[in-house]
Structures are given as C-alpha cells and as structure tokens.
Structure 1
Amino acid sequence: MTVTVRPYDERDWADICRIHDAARLDELGGAGLLDAYLDLEATYENEGLFDDEVWVAEVDGRVAGFIAGSSGEITWAYVDPALYRRGIGRALVQHVLDRATGPVELEVLDGNSARAFYEALGFVLETTTTGKLAGNEAFQATGHTLVWRPAAASG
C-alpha cells in the first residue's frame, strides 16, 4: 500500500468531513467525552482548520486522512478509522516533521490512544492541562502537550 501526501484541495472537503467525523468519535470516546461530539462542518471555522497548511493522504486514489498545522505545530490530524495502523498517520506526521525548522508541538486528549503513536514517533510530554475542550468549549477536558524536537546536528 502506497501513501501519497499532497496539499488539500477544496474537492477533498466531503472526504475530510467523513474522516474527521468518524475518527473524532474514537478520539472523544477514549477521553470519555462522546457527549461533546460536533462534526467538522460545525467546528472548522472557529477552530481554524484552514489557518495553516492542510495536507491529505491518499491511498489508491482515495483520501485516507488529513493533517493541518504549521512548521511548528500540528493542529489537526485524522485518519479514516477503517485504515488505522496502516502507515497513513505516520506518513502525514512525517510530512510535517520533514518540513520542520525546529520543535513541533501538538495536543492530545487524555485517554486518546494516539498519544502512544506520537510518542513512538519521538514526541515527548511537555505539559498537561485541564480546560475548555477545543471544538466544543461547553466541555472540560484534560490535554497533553507533546513536543518533537529535531535531532541535534552532528559536528
């Protein structure tokens, strides 16, 4: 299976909505926050999905996941649940890390199994905070800020 990462195109909207909406249920379920679920259509503007770059992963010509952020932060990362554990998330995150000019930060909800995935890629826990849930501020959530730092240049 070959994963190709390319820039988001507006024709991808229906696919990223489908992927987000399915994967967000897994994310919130792990954190015990299913009641906080809102679909992408309801949250993307307030949460700034398109404030930075958005990339999609394709497998066999179909959108299989997406990631958004800047060279220093991953703000969104979702993979089609039917395609978990097939290298799609790794390809998306690696795409961002390959472009990083310094540390890369992200947040993951407490209880989200993605934390172990990010730690396996070299991210380390920086802080843990409790506050309003991004995407549905009516709910409280605990999140972990993870940071990846590029390897020091060898001399």
Structure 2
Amino acid sequence: MSVSIRPYESRDWDDIRRIHDAARLDELRGAGLLDAYLDLAATYENEGLFDDEVWVAQADGEVAGFIAGSVGPDGGEITWIYVDPDLYRRGIGRALVEHFLARSGGRVELEVLDGNAARDFYEALGFMLESTTTGKLAGNESFTATGHTLVWTPPQL
C-alpha cells in the first residue's frame, strides 16, 4: 500500500466526514462515551477544524485519514487525527503523525481520551504522558471525560 500526505482540499470533505464519523465511534467506545457521539458536520465549526492546517493521507489514491493542528518554530499541537477504521494498522496514522512532526519546530502535544487504544500508538512513536485532566468533552460539552496530554520532544542532536 502506497501512502502519501497532501494538503486538504474542499473536495475531501465527504471523505474526511465519513472517516471521522466511523473512527470517532471507536474513540468514544474505548472511553465509554458512546452517548456523547456527534458527527463531524455537527462539531467541526465549534471545534475549529479548519482554524489550523489540515492534511489528508491517501492510500493507493483514496483518502484514508486526516490530521489537523498548528505548527510553529517552537513546536505544535495535533488537534485532530482520524484514520478510516477499515485501514487501521496499515501505516496511515504513522505517516500522518510523522508528517506533522517533521513540520513542527520542536515539541508537539496532543490529547487522547482515557481508554482510547490510540494512546499506545502515540507512545510507540515517542510521545510521553505529561498530564491527566478531567473536564468537559470537546465537541459535546454536556459530557465529562478524562484526557491525557501526551508530548513528543525531538531527539537531541
């Protein structure tokens, strides 16, 4: 499988919506928060999906995942990352994260819900636990969730 990363284009909307809506169910299921599910169309504006850079992964020419966040000279923050559940464990998430890390100028952070299996994936890529907090669930603030802030620091040369 050939994976490439490119900037988001408006024609990708239906694909990223489909991917988010399927993968978000897995994310919330792991956290015991299925009742908090809202689709991407209901949350993307409030959560600022397009406030930062958005990149898509293509696998064999088809949109297979996406990542969004902010990057700067001192680092960045991954705010969204979703992979088509039919394509889990095929290197798509790794390609997206590695692309983001390469664009960052240093330390990168992200948040992962407690119980989300993706935490093991991030830690395998070198992210480390910085803190754990409980508060309102981003995107559906009527629910309470526990999240972990993970950070990645570039290797010292």
Partner of residue 19, structure 1: 19
Partner of residue 38, structure 2: 38
TM-score (norm 2): 0.97
Query: 1:58 is paired with a residue of what secondary structure?
Result: strand
Once the two structures are superposed, what CA deviation does each residue of 1:70-94 show, in whole Å capped at 9, x if it has no partner? 1210000000000000000000000
Gaps of 5+ in 1: none
Structure 1 segments of 4+ aligned residues over 4 angstroms from their partners? none
Once the two structures are superposed, what CA deviation does each residue of 1:37-96 show, in whole Å capped at 9, x if it has no partner? 000000000000001000000011110000000121000000000000000000000000
TM-score (norm 1): 0.98
Partner of residue 105, structure 1: 109
What residue identity is the alignment partner of 2:108? V
Alignment partner of 1:77 out of 75, 78, 81: 81
Superposition CA RMSD, Å: 0.4
Shift of 1:100: 1.2
Shift of 1:132: 0.2
Query: 2:141 is paired with a residue of what secondary structure?
Result: strand
Partner of residue 122, structure 1: 126
> Aligned equivalents of 1:132 and 1:117: distance in 2?
24
Shift of 1:149: 0.2
> Aligned equivalents of 1:70 and 1:121: distance in 2?
19
Name the % identity.
80
- 1:136 aligns to 2:133 (yes or no): no
> Aligned equivalents of 2:98 and 2:43: distance in 1?
26
How many residues end up aligned between the 2 structures?
Answer: 153
